[in-house]
Amino acid sequence: MARTPGQAARRDPDWEGVRLHVVSGKGGTGKTTLAAALALALAADGGRVLLIEVEGRQGIAELFGIAALPYEERRIASVARPQLGLPGEGTPGEVFALAIDTEQALLEYLEMFYKLGRAGKALQKVGFVDFATTIAPGVRDVLLTGKACEATRRKGPDGRRRYDAVVMDAPPTGRITRFLNVNSEVAGLARIGPIHTQAQAVMRVLKSPETAVHLVTLLEEMPVQETVDGIGELREAKLPVGGVMVNMVRPPVLDAAAVTAVDGDHREDVAAALGEAGLGGRSRRAEAVRAAVDPLLDPLLEQAREHAERVELEREQRADLQQLRLPTYELPLLGEGVDLGGLYRLAGELKRQGAA
């Protein structure tokens, strides 16, 4: 069921109990932006949230206006409800970020399971890491998903979870199922030993109710079709499907009646309305009004037709998304671009609509 911007907040979020939020989407839909906004929304009630980037683009650093992230978890934001335009005070939450470096993750893995220590660094010097991740690309995905799952399970000295939630800015929709499911393949290939054990542990997290895979889309044909196909693949792989985040939704300019009527011949009606609005100056002469109005008629009517076509296309795409029967959240197009203030605004919308 879709929730539109400005709708009243739900008492309970849709993803109560989910600890790992995987955010994917077709390139250009704004998945990194909405992954960051979701992390802020999840932290707004005093939580600790880790935002993970796995594609090496430093998109998180760019969004928050900070230096490139190293391979370590760093606090990048403090957030409270008032910052998101939400009622109430409460304890501010914290968002940490991690840009996973494949090479460092592999060395960490070798140390964790094989206690290689200095030998691992020697392997790095002779280029073993690049060799391993090039001839066996699945190794890279195992390391990335494994690090995210480890952060989800990690506990502090007090025995409590280090993070209340982990948000992963994941690869695009076309790769997401293979990316998440690669541990199943690895577990099948390595039937014993630490690799098998690690892969099984990761898949237990990824296929559990503690994980949700959210897809970001636009109200356009190709992104919606890719979203529909991606959800079908996730369901077939028995991976937990989350919600659909519809990004960059433009507000309606014309009401339903105006959209319906746009195909008719309305030149005279529009000309009269422009005249009544004062075009043509103070002159009451019809010739003066017509001379001022005529150059505007065709561009205005063309824009109205284009708007009506877009509204109809968006209606069709919404209908396709509704058939998925998933929680759907609509985020507004930010005409001024996504700065830090816009990011907090999107986080507030996600919170209001029940995504966090």
Q: Mean pLDDT in runs of 10 for the chain (356 residues)?
A: 46 88 96 98 96 93 94 95 90 95 73 53 49 56 88 92 97 95 69 70 93 98 97 97 97 65 62 64 58 69 75 92 97 90 97 96
CB 244 within 8 A of CB 318: no
pLDDT in the model for residue 337: 82
Where are the CATH 3.40.50.300 domain residues in the chain? 2-253+322-352
State both tokens at 184: 């199943």
Q: What whole-number distance in Å separates Cα of residue 172 and Cα of residue 325?
A: 22
pLDDT in the model for residue 190: 55
CB 167 within 8 A of CB 133: no
pLDDT in the model for residue 123: 47
The CATH-assigned architecture of domain 2-253+322-352 is: 3-Layer(aba) Sandwich (3.40)
List residues bridging with 97 in a β-sheet.
Answer: 51, 74
pLDDT in the model for residue 251: 82
